[in-house]
Chain A
Amino acid sequence: MISNYIGFYALSFGLIISVLIIIKSIFFLKKNNEDKSKNFFSLLSSQFTLIIISFFSLIYSFVNSDFSNNTVFNHSHTTKPLFYKISGTWGNHEGSLLLWLLVLTFFILIFFLKSRNLKLSYRVFTIFFQQIIIFGFILFIIFTSNPFGILYPIPEQGLGLNPILQDPLLAIHPPILYIGYVGTSIIFSSSLAALVTRSMNQVWAKHIKKWIFASWIFLTLGIMLGSIWAYYELGWGGFWFWDPVENVSLMPWFCLTALIHTISVLEKRNMLQSWTFMLSIMTFSLSMSGTFLVRSGILNSIHTFANDPSRGLFILVFLFVLILLSIFIFFTYYENIKIRKIQFLFISKETSILLNNWFLMYFLSVVLIGTVYPIFLEAFTNEKISVGEPFYQKLITPFMVPFLILMALAPNIKWIKNKIEKLNIKILTLFIINLFLSFYIVKLTNTKYLFATLLITSAFFLFLISLRDVLNTNSLMSQRISHFAFSIFILSILFNSIFTKEFNSNMSVGDEMKFFNGTIKFLKINIYEENNYQNIKGTFKFKNSRNNNIYFEPEIRIYNQPNISTSEADIKTNLFTDNILNFNLINDKEYFSVRYQYKPLMFWVWISTFFIAFGGALTFIRKK
């Protein structure tokens, strides 16, 4: 009970401090006296402390199952294991926003401490813009999604956490993703500040690059964890459904990836300032629109969240205030960017990075348009359509071929150079060998995809070239590892989609089914009563053509709080293939619908994504 008040007042004081900092920074920037930075530090750190207090009092309420708290009542239950009580804190809308806020205040503090070598006015401007964001967020939390709502009389029991969310991966997925999202807010504020204070130069690029990389790494890992969760928990055998909620996290990722490349042009050659600026604004706007699209209930998605249109309206207005503010600032201070008449030579690293951005922006536009187009179509014409996987595949896959080839060749092009190297015979033969090899693979599998051959060729090409680069040089290791990992990633996805096999059937206990590469026997079912669910466990014996036996034990869980049943697939992962088996109740309960899936290289999809992010992380290690 008391923790409710503590949490709420700590949050409110956080809002007051936010106002104080905004006022103080305006005064400071008018007078421009350079020696009062200490006050900012104490204000920022006390704001951070208050939000920590607020966040921990919410955790405290969750751990103690304090059902006088509205959020706890709606999302927790006494029978839940302690681990999920804690992770339940950010497994819901209100708590997750508080986590956002926590990271926001933490990051601006870190930013302030880590930017000592830069102009004070730039730092204060960044704080100013960042506090506007924080101010908006606290208002949003207090007025539309207060996590400390009080219930009276106090209910005896909570409503429970959606069982599909009771998963260790989902406990760490949101924090990681949020660190990525919130990191983009620093990039946003900082580029606004840099434009206003004329400090958008090479020093700034070097400084903001770290933030860009950090956000990118966390966003990559966050997206990866999300798809691993979808793969294991939903048990449909897929890991990316082109669902709006997933697309929303992919959009800022494209922007950040473009930014990673562009910022090095700014760092090394001091150009592309305005493009860098626009990318920074776009990245953060897309992160925010993600929150808007997910939380407002405007989208129709497999990932259902509790929605409230008033929340949507608040974020929408707030988002557009920020966007208009940045447009206004861009047009007012545009002259601050010194436009140097620099040559962009056709064959140079600069141009290749522009090409990279060109493709990434195209991918972004496909995902963005595919995600929001149905909303607009309905708003203006009342027609409803669905945009799903076939759309994205048709528009993205053909463009992957030149993109991959570019990705293989570009890293070896020098800055400012304008000389086409002699057409490298080795590279050309390599390409042709790949072409034949891929044709062989496509023919062998009887795949109908027209682009498959070319796509595999270019992915192999990138694979071999980047492997050579990883082995040969020790400079720019981080980039080479990421590119190499990306080639493995694309190859794994390609082979996965080509070689995947599925088998569906209705079976009852004792049945045996023969299919393409083996037989499945339904041995038995056992029913257990667990702490907060009833568990129907089936045992299946799978015998493949090589006479190896695999025993599968998928489960159907019928939870009591809330009353939801989930199907837990049994996934046997090994280095080359995953074997998945799940089963589901059919209406009359005598038969079960059984699905067996053969999915190659799933492990490599995860491991390569990890290495893509790891490559980024190397930039931090190398500097020291």
Chain B
Amino acid sequence: MKINKYFLILILFFLSQFTFVYGANKAELVDEISKNLRCLICQGQSIYDSNSDFAESMKILILRKISEGKNKKEIYEFLKSKYGDWIVYEPTFNKHTYFLWLLPLILFIFGGILILKKTLKVK
């Protein structure tokens, strides 16, 4: 495992190439939230990526809400009440989306059972 040592050194060298910043400030929180919001003007783009008037205003509003002490969840809830679930990229877990979140996992378990059957059947 000689290679291992060299790689440790290489990786450490690698890491020294990057800049580190600690903590998230308000502006970063705005970025984070606006990345999960969908723009209504250029649909398919996030509020973060969009330069439309709507998106610009939205970013100002988010910043204000954060300054007022609202947290991420409250901001999402507020916007969902105004524009519907459509506006967030991460679908809420509710009666409309049980299948969305659970079906892939159900299929995964189902697949696992099939494979177990195949490998453990003949002994």
Interface positions of A (Cβ within 8 A of B) = 236, 238, 243, 300-304, 341, 343-346, 351, 354-355, 358, 361-362, 365-366, 369-370, 373, 377, 381, 383-391, 394-395, 399, 426, 429-430, 433, 437, 441, 444-446, 464, 467-468, 471, 495, 499, 501-502, 504, 516-517, 545, 567, 576-577, 584-587, 593, 598, 600
Contact = CB atoms under 8 A, between A and B. Distances in A.
Given A499-B18, A502-B31, 14 more contacts: A344-B122, A361-B111, A377-B96, A377-B100, A386-B91, A388-B90, A389-B36, A430-B4, A437-B11, A464-B3, A501-B21, A576-B14, A584-B51, A593-B56
A199 B72 CA distance: 59
B18 to A, nearest CB: 5
Nearest to B25: A516
Contacts of A383: 85, 96
User: Which 7 residue pairs spanning A and B have beta carbons closest together?
Assistant: A388-B89, A390-B90, A302-B44, A344-B119, A366-B104, A362-B108, A384-B86
Contacts of B71: none
A304 B44 CA distance: 9
27 contacts: A301-B44, A303-B44, A304-B44, A344-B121, A351-B115, A354-B119, A358-B112, A358-B115, A365-B103, A365-B104, A365-B108, A369-B104, A370-B100, A373-B100, A377-B96, A383-B85, A383-B96, A386-B87, A390-B36, A391-B89, A395-B104, A399-B108, A446-B23, A464-B7, A502-B31, A545-B19, A586-B51
Interface string B18-41: 111111000100010001101000
Contacts of A394: 90
B13 to A, nearest CB: 10
B15 A586 contact: no
A399 B109 CA distance: 13
Contacts of B62: none
Interface in B67-123: 84-91, 96-97, 99-101, 103-105, 107-108, 111-112, 115, 118-122
B64 to A, nearest CB: 16
Nearest to B1: A426
Contact of A302 (B20, B45, B101): B45
A468 B1 CA distance: 9
A600 B89 CA distance: 25
B56 A586 contact: yes
A429 B5 CA distance: 13
A624 to B, nearest CB: 32
Nearest to A383: B96
Interface residues of B, number: 55
B31 A387 contact: no
A593 B21 CA distance: 23
Nearest to A495: B18
Interface of B: 1, 3-4, 7-8, 11, 14-15, 17-23, 27, 31, 35-36, 38, 42-46, 49, 51, 53, 56, 84-91, 96-97, 99-101, 103-105, 107-108, 111-112, 115, 118-122
A344 B123 CA distance: 9
B44 A300 contact: yes
A516 B21 contact: yes
Contacts of B105: 395
Contacts of A501: 19, 21
A351 B31 CA distance: 45
A399 B111 CA distance: 14
A433 B100 contact: no
B44 A362 contact: no
Nearest to B90: A390
Contacts of B56: 586, 593
A346 B91 CA distance: 38
Contacts of A373: 97, 99-100
A459 to B, nearest CB: 12
A361 B107 contact: yes
B10 to A, nearest CB: 11
A355 B108 CA distance: 11
B111 A444 contact: no
A464 B20 CA distance: 26
B100 A369 contact: yes
Nearest to B116: A346
Contacts of A446: 20, 22-23
A499 B17 CA distance: 11
A304 B85 CA distance: 23
